[in-house]
Amino acid sequence: MYSNLLKEKNIKITKNRILLLETIEKLNKVFNVDDIYESLKNNNHKINISTIYRNVNTFYENDILDKITEVNGIIYYQLQKETHLHYLICTQCNQIIPLKECPLEEIENNLSKKTGYTIESHNLEFRGICPKCNKNKKDI
Amino acid sequence: MYSNLLKEKNIKITKNRILLLETIEKLNKVFNVDDIYESLKNNNHKINISTIYRNVNTFYENDILDKITEVNGIIYYQLQKETHLHYLICTQCNQIIPLKECPLEEIENNLSKKTGYTIESHNLEFRGICPKCNKNKKDI
DNA sequence: TTACTTGCAAATGGTTTGCAAAGGG
DNA sequence: CCCTTTGCAAACCATTTGCAAGTAA
């Protein structure tokens, strides 16, 4: 029940917000605003795209979503999980798949000491060509 | 002499391109198109901003520049160096400082085996608040 | 000469915003 | 009821593009 989550965060409960969170859950992947928009359209729901933008921002500001990366001017998000993840991004089709490993905590601590930064987050992305795109390339 | 570099890469040598590369060298940091534009303006040079965009792309496509990251819809570049770098980005002022450590080659190899991806690059960013912005925050 | 580059102005496209109407508590 | 959210249309802004004139080789 997402209404509990919203109440917890002091965000007013609306049909749109519930529907948006359910859609994001169903997507079950790193997504952008257009992914939500298309998914809603396919299920015969109409939410204005600016409403989606506003709420994705609200969710982000309230730690419900993580901002994963920007690729070609498009911002990608994911439902915030307890598990800390990194990503592998195909430079051909922009498929984004999450990884498990994170050997960076120690490096992060040292970095904070050396630079005086308060480290808030880190972002590790690998870019390459996925097996499918590799195959397509050879076919050309 | 940047004309040699351009010749090497089969890019036509123009005054603008030389000037752009010199400006980038003088900047000596991770930069965006506007950084170049402002630096030129301060030195009483006029190059149209679309020319800068076009040439930054040309340099990028010819491995003269690396694309470092996108922050708030703005693309950041750096002169391609032999040394592989990662970055620390202030979430308040967007200052970007390069790091030295890269413990990721081994992880990258394993990843390639597991996923079938041809890994082309990786990108490790730490985000946090720099000492200066930390101070400003307290002053408010 | 001949193709590539440049400046200018307009278009593009993801994202944001102002405003009036609708909805939540 | 008051304040927030929503839909709509327009604005925003970094970046791209079409075109005519200029320039490198």
Between residue 18 and residue 57 of chain B, the positions with Cβ below 7 Å from nucleic chain C are: 46-48, 50-51, 54-55
Confidence at residue A88, expressed as pLDDT on a 0 to 100 scale: 64
Domains in chain B: boundaries: 1-81, 83-140
Q: Is B121 exposed, middle or buried (0-12, 13-18, 19+ CB in 10 A)?
A: middle
- Give tens-digit pLDDT for B73-124: 999 999 987 555 667 666 666 666 666 555 566 667 777 777 777 777 777 7
Q: How far is the CA of B10 from the C1' of C1 (A)?
A: 20
Confidence at residue A27, expressed as pLDDT on a 0 to 100 scale: 92
Report the percent of chain A where pLDDT is more than 90: 39
Residue B59 banded pLDDT, cuts 50, 70, 90: very high
Q: What is the mean pLDDT of residues A116-130?
A: 75
Which of B117, B118, B132, B135 would you mutate first to test chain A, the one with the most A CBs within 10 A? B117
CATH class of the region A83-140: alpha beta
How far is Cα B59 from Cα A5, in angstroms, rounded to an integer?
48
Q: Which of A79-93, A120-134, B15-29, B36-50 has the lowest mean pLDDT?
A: A79-93
According to DSSP, the β-strands at B86-90 and B96-99 are antiparallel
Task: Pick the closest to residue A31 from A96, A86, A93 (CA basis).
Answer: A96
Chain A residues lying within 8 Å of B61, measured CB to CB: none
Q: Would the CB atoms of B119 and A126 count as touching at under 8 Å?
A: yes
Q: Which nucleotide is nearest to B14 (CA to C1')?
A: D24
Domain A1-81 carries which CATH code?
Answer: 1.10.10.10
Q: What is the mean pLDDT of residues A96-108?
A: 62
- Give tens-digit pLDDT for B22-36: 999 999 999 999 999
Q: What is the mean pLDDT of residues A85-107?
A: 62
Report the percent of chain A where pLDDT is more than 70: 76
Long-range CB contact pairs, A29-35, < 8 A, 24+: A29/A78, A29/A96, A30/A68, A30/A76, A30/A77, A30/A78, A30/A87, A30/A96, A30/A98, A31/A76, A31/A77, A31/A78, A32/A74, A32/A75, A32/A76, A32/A77, A33/A75, A34/A74
Residue B46 banded pLDDT, cuts 50, 70, 90: very high
